[in-house]
Each structure stands twice: as structure tokens, then as C-alpha cells.
Amino acid sequence: MSAPQQPPARSEPTPERSPLAAFVEKAAYIAAPGTITLALLYYFGSLYIRAYHSTLGVVPEDLGMSVQNVMANSTSAIFFPVCALLTGGLIVFLFFGLAERALAGPRLAVHRRTAILLMLAVGMAMVFVNFPALFSDLTIPFPAGWPEVFLPALLVAVGATLGLCAVHLRLNQGTDLRGAPRSAESDRVWLAVGALLIGMLTVSLFFDMAQYAAVVGRSNARHDAERGYDDKPTVVVHSRVLLTHHARDIDFEDHGSGSGPYRYEYRGFQLLAKAPARFYLISHTARYRDGVVVLPDDGTAWLEIRAARQGGAPGAMSSAAAVSRPRAGSAARA
């Protein structure tokens, strides 16, 4: 006589979730990456703007640029590194996929363990040799120029990537590096190593992108200065008082007291930047490292802003861009 069968145990019913909780969870999946992306765009854009304007002699803190303008300038700072990162990531995934397929199978277990040890040793060596150079004055004998600036962090990223590949191969095989069955304690150690390598990879890539944004900002500023500020609008300054400056090739004319309070006229300036309380002016013949004239926006002078020269003669007026002269006692806002 057979024993009576026990009825299957009933599982606890899954509590129903409210539509609001489900919506908040889905919104978090979208908002969190978007918030991080916007924060990174703002950070790299601010680095680019600071390096660009500081190189030209403008105080970046004076500009008071909006968040939208800062983020719009971030495209100049991160477009190339993002493209290089995507291309490099695709190459790494393809190469690693081919290597993993080539080492698959029980007959190649020894070669697989050897590859894991080799990639882990080389990767960790690259990380430990180059990582201190990111946060100290330790100098590594790289060639001067861009290799000295970018290679330490780039080699840390390459080493961390090799280590992550080794961790992935180890966690996807049934035995440890000695051929014995895997254990939970050993897997936790490898997971901790992988998490540490992911952090080092993130830090190194972030460091290199920040370096690139600053280098590109300085390089673009020098290029614009050596080209002669062709994209900067020309300015005619009408002043109540005589201006003291050392800019060369500036034409001065005194219209006399009968022409009104703004009797002094200066031609040959270009508007380098506009801050809420001051104008940054440069001579139309200025080049890199030439002095910048800082003119306060306090009603002492008003500026007649004209279109950029674009290779034409300085002072060639564009009727569409001219600013009409205000009444006495007011100042035109650039």
C-alpha cells in the first residue's frame, strides 16, 4: 500500500505593486543615466570654457555663462574622445569574443588558465605602474607633449580592461586556476577584483577626458589668437573720458565738446568677451599673449558693435549689426 502523497506547499503570493511604484522605478532607470550624462556634459564644458578664456586673458568667472551655453560648448571637448572610446570598446569586445571562442572547450583548459594568468598579471602591472602618476608628481619617462599628458591614464585603462577580461574568463569556467572545482569564496574574491578594476577604468577614462577638454580649450584659443580673431565682432568705442590702454593700432579721434558727452572715439577694437559688468576688448592686430583691454560697463562708454571682419578691412560696418547710439547717460549692452 503506497503512502499518501503530500500536497505541494503553497507559495506565498507576490504582493501586487501599485502603478505609481512601477512608474517611479521605470522613471529612475531613465532619469539616473540622463542626470549623470548632463552632469558630465556640464563638467567637461566648464573645463573647456575655463581653459579657452583663461588662455586668451579673460577671467572665466566673470562671464556668467548659462548652463545651456556651457553644455553646448562641451561638444568641442568630448566629441573626439567619445568616438575614440566607442571605437576602442568595439575593438576590445570583438577581440575578446574571438579569444574566448578560441579558448573554449575542455581540451584547451590549460591554455585558458594560462591566458587568464597572463592577462591578469600584465593588466595589474600596467595599473599599478601608471595609476600613481594620475594623483602625484611622479614622472614617468614618456615623450614630451600629448604622450606625457594622456598615456599614463590610457595605460591604466588598458591594464584595467585586460584585468576585466581575465576576471570574466575566470568567472565563466567551471574550475579555478588550479583545475579544482570553483568555490563561492574564490568567486567573491574575483568579483571584488573586477569591481576594483571597473573603478580604476572609470577614473582613468574620466581623467583623460578632463585632460583632453583642457588641452583642446587651450589649443583652440591659441589657434583663434594666431589667426587674428577673425570671428570676433569689431567695436567702435565712444567714451566720456580718455581711455588709458596699451593696445596697438587703435585709431583715436576727439570730436570736441560740441558733439555731446561721448566725445572720444576709438576704432580698431574687437570684442573678445562680454561679462555682465565689463567688456574684454582686443586690438584687431593682436595675436596670442597680447594684452586685453578691460572696459567697465558703467555708462562711461558705449560700444558700437559691428559684424566680424571675416578677412575684410577693420571697421567695415555692417548696417544690420550696428547698434544705434543711446541717449546721454546710458550704455549699450553687448
Span 269-299, pLDDT tens digits = 999 998 888 999 999 888 888 889 999 988 8
The whole-angstrom separation of Cα 306 and Cα 232 is: 9
Q: What is the DSSP string of 166-190?
A: HHHHHHTSSB-TTSSBP-HHHHHHH
Within the chain, where are the H helices?
A: 19-56, 60-63, 67-102, 109-130, 146-171, 184-227
Kindly state the cell numbers that stand for 297.
560697463
How do residues 96-119 score in pLDDT, each as one tens digit?
888 878 777 767 777 888 888 898
The whole-angstrom separation of Cα 194 and Cα 187 is: 10
pLDDT greater than 50 at residue 325: no
pLDDT greater than 50 at residue 312: no
Kindly state the cell numbers that stand for 194.
573586477
Q: Residue 303's beta-bridge partner residues?
A: 237
pLDDT of residue 227: 86
pLDDT greater than 80 at residue 38: yes
Q: pLDDT band for position 32 (50/70/90)?
A: low
Residue type, 224: D
Residue 260, phi-psi category: left (phi > 0), alpha (psi -120 to 50), beta (remainder) = left
pLDDT greater than 60 at residue 8: no
The whole-angstrom separation of Cα 247 and Cα 292 is: 8
Give this prediction's pTM: 0.74
pLDDT of residue 326: 40
Q: What percent of the chain has pLDDT over 70?
A: 78
Cβ atoms < 10 Å from Cβ of 33:
10
State the DSSP code for 248: S
How do residues 225-248 score in pLDDT, each as one tens digit?
888 888 889 999 999 999 988 888
How do residues 52-82 score in pLDDT, each as one tens digit?
999 998 988 888 888 888 888 888 788 888 8
8 Å CB contact between 249 and 283: yes
pLDDT of residue 330: 35
pLDDT of residue 264: 92
